[in-house]
């Protein structure tokens, strides 16, 4: 009776072992098929060790529970490999392949143990393989653990990636910013100074930007002496004097040389770019992208006070510009991880809120000695509220300036003539005009009529070279027939009138 009971138990154990072995065999076949079809490098090692183990399991009729667990884990591994390759067009992602390499390396060591057991079985055919059950169980356990570690590594990698992504998204969403305010945005044509023009003015500005010493007798310079020591520089001039072109040239060169920290080009025609409340937040955003340590500090500040970005510009400046700079200096023993760089603000007069504009300038001038390593280049028209801020008694030594209207015509006119000559040369080439055109006298007359206003010369060039009409010779003659007795702004009005009359020939005098 006892012998019969033992026989029944042995039969049940054998059946259970066979079922487990069958499940493992099926899992192995699926794994082998999926991995082979996807071209997973090193997969043959995994198939080999599982095949050897399967053979041992079928001989031993033991370790049923652990075999079932291993079969389940092989199934999970197959699913992960298949799902992970779907978004990549059946190419294993690099991090996944690295984890698979580590998995198959561990399997190679396990395979060595399994091969020893298998070779012993072949040599000693009468060997009772069930006596090696503990060793087989150890191999099964090692395989299960290796797959579990592989899965755990994947989970950790996913969490790490999500954390990094969350951190990046936080930084990018931090201060609100005007996307089109950058110096090189697609908002408008990014015109810079023609090579060979404005050389004296640009060199003076670059010297200030790089904090170099300038001799007191610098030729052709209208720059005030303080401009080379202060962290704030004001370029001002009448409409049409070329401020924006100069500012964009400065920003472009600083960007090329790696010393542009941020830029904000205001424009009355764009709702974001004429919003003074976005100037300091945009500058903080751009600085944060360029210097991660600065961005991290801004992020911390805004986490504590999410509404700070919508507060008064004076508080924005103190919390998002001055405070992060001071914090970084304290962390680095009065030094700063941020290298010296320039922040360019152009056309500040085009902001729709004059009070906020004055507050921006007051903030810069009040804290001028705390701005280092940043230097702020500001360009604007000399509007009353802007002049009043710069003329405040406490700020007079806090900035340098370059008034374009004080630069001698003897300096500006040759630059305008050069611009006209080069532009007309391009027009002649594109519209197949004789090389003798234009008459040098015409160029000189246009230069004189410009009276230092680049906008007059630029508008004249566009009028003459309009490809729609394709008659530069005739249009230049009509332009030159305008009276030369009037002042430059009246001449500019007449030029615009000619443009309108050409565009709308049926328009009445009324």
Give all domains of the chain, ordered by start, each with its CATH number.
Answer: 11-172 (no CATH), 179-405 (3.40.50.300), 409-503 (no CATH)
**Cα(23)–Cα(389) distance, rounded to whole angstroms?**
84
Nearest Cα to Cα of residue 239 among 355, 89, 349, 135: 349
Name which residue leads in pLDDT, 241 or 62.
241
**Cα(287)–Cα(293) distance, rounded to whole angstroms?**
10
Q: What proportion of the chain, given as a percentage, has pLDDT over 90?
A: 45
| Confidence label for 320 from pLDDT (cuts 50, 70 and 90) | very high
Task: Assess contact for 190 and 183: CB atoms under 8 A.
Answer: yes
Angle formed by the axes of helices 488-503 and 454-464, to 10°?
A: 20
Instruction: At 221, give phi and psi (nearest 5°).
Output: -105, 130
Q: What is the pLDDT of residue 116?
A: 77
Nearest Cα to Cα of residue 398 among 433, 346, 362: 362
Q: What is the pLDDT of residue 64?
A: 76
Copy the structure tokens of residue 134: 């503990």
Q: What is the mean pLDDT of the chain?
A: 82
Q: Is pLDDT at 227 greater than 60 in this prediction?
A: no
**Cα(148)–Cα(153) distance, rounded to whole angstroms?**
9
Q: Select the highest-mean-pLDDT range: 60-64, 187-191, 466-470.
A: 466-470
| Confidence label for 220 from pLDDT (cuts 50, 70 and 90) | very low
Q: What is the pLDDT of residue 226?
A: 46
- Is 0.85 surpassed by the pTM of this model? no
Three-class SS state of 232: strand
């Amino acid at each position: 009776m006892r012998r019969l009971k033992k026989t029944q138990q042995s039969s049940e154990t054998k059946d259970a072992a066979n079922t487990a072995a069958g499940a493992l065999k099926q899992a192995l076949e699926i794994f082998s098929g999926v991995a082979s079809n996807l071209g997973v490098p090193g997969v043959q090692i995994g198939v080999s060790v599982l095949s050897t183990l399967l053979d041992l399991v079928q001989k031993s009729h033991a370790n049923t529970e652990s075999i079932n667990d291993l079969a389940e884990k092989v199934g999970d591994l197959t699913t992960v490999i298949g799902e992970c390759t779907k978004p990549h067009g059946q190419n294993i992602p690099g991090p996944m392949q690295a984890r698979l390499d580590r998995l198959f390396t561990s399997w190679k060591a396990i395979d060595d143990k399994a091969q020893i057991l298998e070779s012993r079985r072949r040599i000693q055919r009468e060997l009772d393989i069930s006596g090696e059950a503990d060793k087989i169980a150890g191999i099964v356990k090692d395989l299960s653990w290796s797959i579990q570690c592989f899965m755990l590594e994947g989970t950790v990698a996913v969490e790490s990636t999500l954390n990094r992504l969350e951190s990046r998204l936080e930084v990018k969403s931090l201060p609100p910013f005007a996307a089109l305010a950058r110096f090189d945005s697609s908002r408008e044509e990014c015109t810079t100074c023609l090579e060979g023009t404005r050389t004296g003015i640009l060199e003076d500005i670059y010297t200030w930007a790089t904090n170099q010493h300038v001799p007191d007798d610098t030729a052709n310079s209208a720059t005030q002496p303080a401009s080379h020591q202060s962290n704030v520089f004001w370029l001002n001039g009448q409409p049409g004097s070329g401020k924006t072109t100069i500012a964009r040239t400065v920003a472009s060169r600083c960007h090329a040389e790696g010393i542009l920290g941020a830029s904000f080009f205001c424009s009355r025609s764009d709702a974001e770019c004429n919003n003074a409340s976005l100037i300091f937040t945009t500058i903080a955003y751009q600085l944060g992208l360029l210097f991660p340590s600065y961005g991290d500090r801004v992020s911390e500040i805004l986490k504590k006070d999410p509404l700070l970005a919508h507060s008064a510009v004076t508080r924005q400046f103190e919390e998002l510009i001055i405070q992060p700079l001071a914090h970084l200096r304290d962390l680095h023993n009065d030094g700063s991880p941020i290298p010296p760089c320039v922040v360019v603000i152009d056309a500040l007069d085009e902001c729709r809120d004059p009070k906020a504009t004055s507050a921006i300038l007051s903030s810069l001038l009040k804290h001028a000695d705390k701005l280092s390593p940043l230097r702020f280049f500001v360009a604007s028209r000399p509007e009353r509220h802007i002049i009043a801020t710069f003329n405040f008694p406490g700020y007079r030594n806090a900035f340098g300036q370059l008034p374009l209207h004080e630069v001698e015509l003897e300096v500006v006119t040759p630059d305008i003539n050069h611009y006209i000559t080069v532009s007309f040369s391009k027009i002649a080439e594109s519209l197949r005009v004789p090389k003798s055109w234009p008459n040098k006298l015409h160029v000189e007359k246009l230069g004189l009529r410009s009276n230092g206003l680049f906008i007059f010369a630029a508008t004249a060039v566009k009028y003459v070279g309009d490809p729609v009409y394709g008659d530069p010779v005739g249009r230049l003659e009509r332009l030159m027939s305008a009276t030369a007795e009037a002042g430059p702004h009246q001449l500019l009005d007449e030029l615009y009138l000619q443009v309108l009359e050409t565009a709308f020939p049926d328009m009445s005098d009324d």
